[in-house]
A and B are shown apart, each in its own frame.
Chain A
Amino acid sequence: MSDPVYIIGIDLGTTNSVVAYTRIRSIENENPEIKIFEIPQFTSAGVIQKCLMTPSFIYIPSDQDLPSGAPSIPWSSDNNLIVGEYGRDRGAEIPQRLISSAKSWLCHTMIDRNKPILPWGSPENIIKMSPVEASAGILKFIRDAWNHIMASRDDRFKIERQEIYLTVPASFDAIARDLTVKAAEHAGLFNITLLEEPQAAFYSWIENSGDQWRKDVHKGDLILICDIGGGTSDFSLIQVGEDQGELVLERIAVGDHLLVGGDNMDLSTAYFAARRMAETGIRLDTWQMRKLVHGCRNAKENLLSGDASSTQYSVSVLGRGGSLIGGSVKTVLSRDDIQNLIVDGFFPMCEFSAKPQQSNKIGLKETGLSYEADPSITRHIADFLYRNKPDNRNTDFLPSAVLFNGGVMKSPAIRQRIKDLIGQWKSGEGSQSIREIASNDFDLAVARGAVYYGLARRGAGIRIRGGLGRSYYIGIAASMPAVPGIPQPVKALCVAPFGMEEGTGDILKQQEFILVVGEPVCFDFFCSMVRHDDAIGQTFDDWQSQLEEITTLKTTLDGPPGSIIRVSIEIKVTEIGTLELWCVSVDDNRKWKLEFNVREQG
C-alpha cells in the first residue's frame, strides 16, 4: 500500500457529521492548512448539494421515493439509503423509515448491537439495520463522496488509503469503541485511529491559536471541556503540567455518556409554546408541531444570541397548503420564557455537591434509547467534577478554565451561566475566577482537531496524554468453601487501569486460570469511572457499589476437547485506541482473543 496522502478527521456525530482533512507534507512546512470536506448530499428530491455538515440520519426510501430505476446518489455504492440533509427532512415526515442517533445506540447495553433493530419500532416490512450497520452506512456515504470527488482519477487518493482519525465521545467504553472500529471496517475503512471528541475540540483550539496557546494556559491549570451537541453531552478534564520546562497536557477524567443536548431544548421550548397555544384553544397536529420545533429553534438562537435588542420573538406556524396566512397560528416567546426554559431548565444554578435526579424505578420501561432522567446539565457537570475531586482537596480542584464546544454553546447566555456557576462553586468568586478558552468554531472544531491530532502524531504538534478513560475489571470467583444458598462471592480483578496508554500492553502473570478446552469461557467485565488509582492485577472484594457491569467476555479454546490449559490474561491497548484481552497459554504461548459480548445485557 502506498503512503497516505491526506490526514482525514471524521467527526461522526450523533446529529451531524463533519469531515476535515489536510495534505501530509514535509515537516518543515509550518502551517498545514486544515480544510473541511464538503460532502455532496441530497438536499431535496433529485437535488444534490455540498454541505459542511452532514446530518447523521439515514432514511430508508420506499419505492415511491425515487423515480423508478434511478439510483439515489449516482456515485453511491449503497443505493437504497438516503443519508444527510434530505434524509433527515424526509425522515421527519415518515419517522418509521428514519434511523437517527445511530451512535447513541452503539453504547446501549440493553440491546444486541449487531441485530437489525433500527429504525426502532418500525413495522416488519421495512429494511432494518443494526446500530453497527447504521454507523457503517454513514461512513460508507462519506467514503463514497470522498472517493468520488477526491479520488475519481487516481486511486492513491482513495479514502481507504489515507490516515483516518475517527472521533468518539470520551464516554464511550471499550465495547462501544470496539463497535465503532467494527463499523469503520464494515465501511471498508481499516486505517483508522480513535480520538475522544473533547480532546479533539481542544486540539482544534491549539491548532487555531498557533503558538499563542502556550501563553493562554499555565502550569497547574485545570481545563474543563464542555461539549454539548444536538443529542449528547460529554465532559473531560485536562490538566496542564510541566515537564522539563515544556507544558504537558493530560486528560485526567472523562464523564458519562449523557443523552441530553440541543434537541431536547428545542423540544421543550416547542412543548411550552404548544401548551401556550392550547390555552387559547389551538390544537396542533404532528406536522404543525414539527414546524413549531423549527420555529422554536430559531427563537432560542435569536433570544440567546446575546443581542440585547431582541427581547421577544414571535413563533408562528404557517397554515399548511394554500391557506398560508389564514391557517397560521402564532405565539410570542419572551426572553424570560427562554431564560426559564433553557437556561434555568437545563442549566440551573446548583450546589457543587448536587447529584442528578434518578428516575423512579418503573417496572416496565420501554427499551428505546435511555435518555437522561434529569435534563439539568449543570447537575451532571457538578456530579462529574465532584466524583473526580481528590479527597484531600476541596475547591482548588475546580477547573480554572473552560473550553466550550457543540452547537448549543454558540449561545453566550448559556456559556455565561456555566462560568457563573463554576465561579460560584469556587468560593463565590463569580465568573471572573474562570477563564473561557475561546473556541473558533463550535460545529467544526472536532473534525479539525482530529486532523491536528494526526499531525501531532507525526511529530508536528503537542499531544494530550490520555490513555484509557476508565479502569476495567474482570470478575473472578473467590476461593472460598461453598455455602449452600449463598452465591459464590466474586472478586474484581483490575485488568486495565485508568490512563493505560495506547500502544501498551501487559500480562497478568500472577493470576493463572485453568480453562477447559471446547467449553465456552465467560468472564464478567466491569468498569469504573472513579477508581483511578488501581494497579493492574489488583483484586478487591467489595466492588458492587463502585463498579459498573458492562458486559461479559467470551471465548472458546480450541484443542483436544476436555483437556485443560493453564492461561494467563494479556491486555493490550491498541494504537488505534481499543482495548483487547487475550488468553495466553502459559505452556506454549497460544492465544485466544476474549470477545466482548454485545448482546442484550440483563
Chain B
Amino acid sequence: MNHASSFTLKCLYRIAIIMMLIALFFTVSGIWIWRLIFSFLPLEILQGASSHSSELATGLAAVMPILNMLEYCFIPSVFFILICGALILCLMMRRLFIRSTAHLELNPRLQTKGMKASKTDKVKPLKESLKDLPLPSESESPGAEKKDDLEFTQRLYLHVLSVLQRDGRLLDFLSENLNNYEDHQIGSAVRNIHENCKKALNKYLKPSAVIDKNEGEEVIVPRNFDISSIKLTGKVVNEPPFQGVLRHKGWQVARLELPTLTPGQNPRIIAPAEVEIL
C-alpha cells in the first residue's frame, strides 16, 4: 500500500511538470503567432489610411499604445495565467486524491509510526477509524442509500428526545395537564424527571458553559470573537473589542458523539408502546 500511494504522488508531480511545460510551449508559440500576425498586418496601410481620415487617425493613435503594451505584457501575462492554472489544477487534484485514498494512506503511515514508535505518536488508529465507524447502510442502489440517509437523519433528530423520554419520561411529563394536580404533586414528579434527564444529558452530551464566569461579571469580547458562541445585545455601535456584562453563560457540549443507528427502525417512533404479556 505504501508503494501504491507514493506511486500516485509521483504521478501528481509529473502532471504538474507537464502542465508547466505546456504553459511554456503555449507562451512561446503565442509570441511567435503574434509576431507573425503583425508581420502580415499592413500597418503602413493603416498609417497611410489615417492620413485620409482624421477619425481613423485618432482611433489608431488610441489603439496603438494598447497594442504595443499587449505585445510587451503578453509574454509574462499568458505565462503567469497558465502557471496559475496549472497550480490550481494541481491543488484540486491533490485534494481529490487525498479524499479518495484517505484510507489507503492511513495504514502505511501507521506502519512507519509503529516501527519508529515516535514520541508524537498518539495512537491514531482509534480516532481516525472512528470517523467512518459504523454506518451499516451498505445499500445496493444510490436511491435506497438516500432514503436510508434520510431515515437516519430523522432518527438522529429525534434521538435526544427519545433518550430523555426513556431515561427521564420527559414527553409523558410535557403531555400531562398540570391543571389536574396540586403543586406538591407536580413538585415531587419534577424532582424525579429533573434528576433522570440531567443524568442522561450529562452522560451523552456533557453540557458546559460557554463563558465560565459568574453572570453579572464584566467580560471583554475580543476583536475576533466567534459570533456563534457570543451574542451581543444592547448598545452595539462601535467595533470590537467590547466591554460588557455577562448576562447568560451560554451552553456548549463537551462531548458530541453521534450514535450509530442500525437500520430497520421506524424513524417516527420516539418511544414504543409497551404491552405486557401475562
Contacts and interface: CB of A to CB of B under 8 A. Distances in A.
Contact of A46 (B114, B204, B265): B265
Interface stretch (A323-331, A406-414, A494-502, A512-520): A323-331
Given A23-B121, A325-B181, A49 B186 contact: no
B257 interface: yes
Given A45-B265, A46-B265, A298-B195, A153 B107 contact: yes
Interface stretch (A67-75, A108-116, A365-373): A67-75
B264 A49 contact: no
Contact of B261 (A29, A46, A154, A156): A46
Interface string B138-180: 0000000000000000010001001100100100110110101
Contacts of A50: 257
Interface stretch (A144-152, A437-445, A587-595): A144-152
B264 A47 contact: no
A528 interface: no
Chain B's interface: helix, strand, loop or mixed, by majority?
Answer: helix
A48 interface: yes
Interface in A124-162: 148-154, 156-157
Nearest to B175: A322
Nearest to A89: B166
B103 interface: yes
Given A46-B262, A67-B264, A29 B133 contact: no
B240 interface: no
Interface in B26-45: none
A322 B172 contact: yes
A74 B117 contact: no
Interface centre among A47, A68, A317 (most CB of B within 10 A): A47
B28 to A, nearest CB: 48
A67 B134 contact: no
Contacts of B114: 5, 156
A324 B129 contact: no
B100 to A, nearest CB: 15
Nearest to B181: A325
B110 A148 contact: no
Contact of A326 (B181, B192, B260): B181
Contact of B176 (A24, A47, A325): A325
A149 B188 CA distance: 44
Contacts of B172: 318, 321-322, 324
User: Would you call the interface of chain A mostly helix, strand, loop, or mixed?
Assistant: loop
A70 B263 contact: yes
Contacts of B117: 23-26, 29
Contact of A44 (B133, B166, B173): B166
A47 B159 contact: yes
A152 B133 CA distance: 10
Contact of B259 (A23, A47, A148, A153): A47
A45 B134 contact: no
A324 B163 contact: no
Interface string A373-414: 000000000000000000000000000000000000000000
Given A46-B262, A326-B180, A154 B191 contact: no
Given A25-B121, A150-B129, A324-B176, A40 B110 contact: no
A324 B134 contact: no
A82 B80 CA distance: 64
Contacts of A46: 155, 261-262, 264-265
A307 to B, nearest CB: 15
B262 A324 contact: no
A35 B123 contact: yes
A170 to B, nearest CB: 31
Nearest to B136: A74
Contacts of B175: 322
A245 to B, nearest CB: 32
A324 B188 contact: no
Contacts of B260: 40, 47-49, 74
Interface string A297-334: 01000000000000000101110011011101010000
Contacts of B197: none
Given A149-B129, A325-B186, A154 B110 contact: yes
B268 interface: no
A597 interface: no
Interface string B69-96: 0000000000000000000000000000
Interface of B: 103, 106-107, 110-111, 114, 117, 119, 121-123, 125-126, 129-130, 133-134, 136, 155, 159, 162-163, 166, 169, 172-173, 175-176, 178, 180-181, 185-186, 188-189, 191-193, 195, 204, 257, 259-265, 272, 274
16 contacts: A5-B114, A23-B117, A29-B119, A33-B123, A35-B123, A44-B166, A48-B134, A74-B134, A74-B136, A150-B125, A154-B107, A314-B191, A316-B188, A325-B176, A325-B186, A328-B188
